[in-house]
Structure 1
Amino acid sequence: MGNHRTLLKSQGCPELSVNSLKSKASISVSPAAKIKKPRRAEANFYPSFPLGETQESMEKERIELLAAIKRRNNDRVIAEKMARTFAYRRQEVVNEEPGIGDFKDRWPALFQQKEINAEFQRLMAVPLEQTFLAQLDRHSNQLIKVIQAKGGATCAKMAGIMRTYDEVEDIGIRRECVLKGLITFLGEDTKDLIKKYCGSSGDDAQMELKQLTMAVFVIRKEGEGLKEPPETLASSLREWRCCRT
């Protein structure tokens, strides 16, 4: 296997050559300095460019993607270009470790829900949302038992959430109840992560959304409670780093 990896490296395999001394910065010219290797379950850690593509052609695709995202009803073109530039994007993350703010400016399409799921699928070869929800459904009964076993003030806080869980049949609302119950069980306030707004205060939500580092916003119509599905969902994530170390 070692000889096989040596042969691959001699052929220019990016995943192996990324740690060669020639590929490292002058301040990191040491075999043990800033070793870049895949984390657990990363199936496509450092992919090669598509056949016939270069860094210049990939940068051209990225610029075209910036224009494509400004057009309406252009999801198919965006998805194709995002899939094509995956290797270019991954090499940028591994080599440069950019901040989330800078990365969002260069790849705004990646921060759409569909593309987050697609990127995770490309990187891990596992569907993100379906896997998470399937595991949440699988363990919901055990989680509810653990949550309901809690007494004292925490039990009182969770009474309304658990009541809603027992009364509704909508799977989305039941999942929301499980997650909120788990947050409360761990001694955290759900309001720190999940912000609720009525329809008339949606503009206030958008203003606060830009100021928070991480949050989930749930906007419901006037008079609606937890038993009704939300009108709008949004999230905030900024100024974290795409760190590989």
Structure 2
Amino acid sequence: MGTSLFSIQTQNFNNELCNLSTISELPKGKVTLKVYKSFHTDSTLGTANLSSSSTSLNEGTSGSPTRQLPQPFVIPSFSFDVELKLKQGNEACHKDGTLLDPSKDMKSDILDKLAEAIYVHNPYPRPEEYDRVAQALINKHPCLREPGSVHGWYCWKFSLKFKMGNFRQKLRVASCSELKVNSRTTGPAGSKRLKRAKKSEVNFVPDFAEGKTESNLEMDRSAMAIEMTKRKVDRQQTDDMMNNTFPLRRKEIVEPLVAEVKERWPALFSERQIEAEFARITSVDLKGSLCAGIDQYLVRFLELYKAKSGIMRLTRLTRQLDDDSSTQRKVHVLLLGLPLFLKEDPSCFFKTVEPTDDEDVFTKGMKVGIVMVKDGEDRIDVAVVLEEAVILCGLNNIQSAVAMLMGLLFALNIDYPKELRYTFEFIQKVLMNIGGRQCSSLVHGVRTCLLRKTM
């Protein structure tokens, strides 16, 4: 919202500037008019909304790494003197094959710039990513090849690994949130368990926004908790406060119990906020991405299911389509059959219960899962279970339940269960297309088989 402020300079006021609200107040004599534009924002209107935060997440700044190194990796520019020496070295290398012997300072400058460029995308690169960066360096500057090395970049790779460790330590000392969380030690022997992005999160542990502190964000959290106790909750105000308190919430959600998070952040446990939190973390539409993946692979998947005649439980699932071939039933069969197709046991993941069954009984031993409540042949409810407790209920179908479960696993930083690691990996990397560049051989093989008929 903008307002105009008029300033005049006249001899009647000793040539001093005076503020006016309307032009009619100007004196009839000769004056100098200057117009200034001033802007102010109301505190309720100035809060960031989800769409703006999603845009900033997609930009990938040093505070919000994008988690995957681009292919090919772009080598940054170095300092002027280093670039000059590299230019001369590359010319000599092309002319007669002479290799450059970089000085200690030159090598340090190269590694520093590479570490900064790597961190923008991933603070904890994988071994193969170090390989790609070292190879890209040699491809751009062949004079830096190592004599006697098979690929010419073996030592550069290990120098980069050490440099990244030193670089992370510097940022940790500078209180970079995502790295500082890994300075804590756990266990009696002081062993460390690194808290790092594992599911291609864009914003894992973001820093506080400028002007925000833990104390004033804690005030917002308390106000939001009170708001959630009201019969009629102000959804817009809750959305704004959830967005503003996102950095505080991510610092807390490292590995707490779900019950503790629910007590402190009750607003998080609704479909609306789970979708919003997922978008803050990944910059991806939760339900939209899953729906798009299912639409793309649905027909081909069912063909593969029917071809697996040796898996009796999968065959019984596909036979349901003989009586009901609706799209909703097909999606139901696809999701329920996915663990079976990937040769995993879904017995502790998908459960069907009666309305009269005791919740404490059917959730026992269920760390992560989905429960379908049926009264005879009619499904009356679908619920999400985490840590042996029903976290979210009243869902329409299996697809919505799977989407909400994925959103909660990201929002609460919960690892995928080991017994269903391929199922969740497939949902994330193939159906939702998040971090799909790197996947296990099993998931990659299934995706390749699907694409042969869907492309």
TM-score normalised by L of structure 1: 0.71
Corresponding position of 1:136: 294
1:84-163 aligned within 5 A: 84-93=244-253, 97-152=255-310, 154=311, 156-163=312-319
- Which one has a bigger Cα radius of gyration? 2
Contact 1:66–1:107 (8 Å) recurs in 2: yes
In structure 2, distance between residues paired with 1:190 and 1:79: 35
Q: CA deviation at 1:93?
A: 3.2
* Partner of residue 219 from structure 1, selected from 362, 373, 378: 373
Q: CA deviation at 1:131?
A: 0.4
Contact 1:62–1:85 (8 Å) recurs in 2: yes
1:47 aligned onto 2:181: no
| Partner AA of 1:207 in structure 2 | D
In structure 1, distance between residues paired with 2:344 and 2:221: 40
1:231 aligned onto 2:384: no
Contact 1:205–1:217 (8 Å) recurs in 2: no
Report the 3-state secondary structure (helix = DSSP H, G, I; strand = E; otherwise coil) of the residue aligned with 1:42. Answer: coil
1:19 aligned onto 2:171: yes
Report the 3-state secondary structure (helix = DSSP H, G, I; strand = E; otherwise coil) of the residue aligned with 1:231. Answer: strand
In the superposition, relative to structure 1, how do residues 57 and 209 fare at CA in structure 2: closer, same or farther (>3 Å)? Answer: farther
In the superposition, relative to structure 1, how do residues 17 and 74 fare at CA in structure 2: closer, same or farther (>3 Å)? Answer: farther
Contact 1:48–1:87 (8 Å) recurs in 2: yes
* Partner of residue 360 from structure 2, selected from 207, 210, 228: 207
Q: Could you say which structure has the greater relative contact order, defined with CA pairs below 8 angstroms and 6 or more residues apart?
A: 1
1:65 aligned onto 2:224: yes
1:180 aligned onto 2:339: no
Contact 1:209–1:215 (8 Å) recurs in 2: no
In the superposition, relative to structure 1, how do residues 20 and 39 fare at CA in structure 2: closer, same or farther (>3 Å)? Answer: same
Contact 1:196–1:217 (8 Å) recurs in 2: yes
Corresponding position of 1:10: none
In the superposition, relative to structure 1, how do residues 150 and 210 fare at CA in structure 2: closer, same or farther (>3 Å)? Answer: closer
Report the 3-state secondary structure (helix = DSSP H, G, I; strand = E; otherwise coil) of the residue aligned with 1:20. Answer: helix
In the superposition, relative to structure 1, how do residues 26 and 120 fare at CA in structure 2: closer, same or farther (>3 Å)? Answer: closer
| Partner AA of 1:181 in structure 2 | G
Q: When you count helix as a share of all residues, which structure comes out higher?
A: 1
In structure 1, distance between residues paired with 2:320 and 2:330: 8
Query: RMSD in angstroms over aligned alpha carbons?
Result: 3.6
In structure 2, distance between residues paired with 1:235 and 1:243: 14
- Larger displacement relative to structure 2 (163-172 or 77-86): 163-172
In the superposition, relative to structure 1, how do residues 119 and 106 fare at CA in structure 2: closer, same or farther (>3 Å)? Answer: same
In structure 2, distance between residues paired with 1:242 and 1:85: 17
Q: CA deviation at 1:89?
A: 1.2
Q: Deviations over 1:3-27 (max 9, x none)?
A: 7x69xxxxxxxxx899332545586
| Partner AA of 1:186 in structure 2 | L
Q: Deviations over 1:122-159 (max 9, x none)?
A: 1111011210121122112222222211123x2x3333
Report the 3-state secondary structure (helix = DSSP H, G, I; strand = E; otherwise coil) of the residue aligned with 2:230. Answer: coil
Contact 2:305–2:341 (8 Å) recurs in 1: yes
- Larger displacement relative to structure 2 (63-72 or 121-130): 63-72
Of all paired residues, the percent bearing the same amino acid is: 26
Report the 3-state secondary structure (helix = DSSP H, G, I; strand = E; otherwise coil) of the residue aligned with 1:53. Answer: coil
Report the 3-state secondary structure (helix = DSSP H, G, I; strand = E; otherwise coil) of the residue aligned with 1:109. Answer: helix
In structure 2, distance between residues paired with 1:180 and 1:40: 22
In structure 1, distance between residues paired with 2:297 and 2:230: 41
Corresponding position of 1:56: 215
Corresponding position of 2:239: 79
Report the 3-state secondary structure (helix = DSSP H, G, I; strand = E; otherwise coil) of the residue aligned with 2:351. Answer: strand
In structure 2, distance between residues paired with 1:79 and 1:17: 35
Contact 2:309–2:315 (8 Å) recurs in 1: no
| Partner AA of 1:90 in structure 2 | R
Q: CA deviation at 1:99?
A: 3.7
In the superposition, relative to structure 1, how do residues 218 and 167 fare at CA in structure 2: closer, same or farther (>3 Å)? Answer: same
Corresponding position of 1:13: none
Unaligned ranges ≥5, structure 2: 1-75, 77-111, 118-167, 187-191, 389-408, 416-455
- Larger displacement relative to structure 2 (34-43 or 177-186): 34-43
In structure 2, distance between residues paired with 1:50 and 1:169: 50
Q: CA deviation at 1:243?
A: 7.0
Q: CA deviation at 1:186?
A: 3.5
Q: CA deviation at 1:236?
A: 0.8
In structure 1, distance between residues paired with 2:266 and 2:170: 26
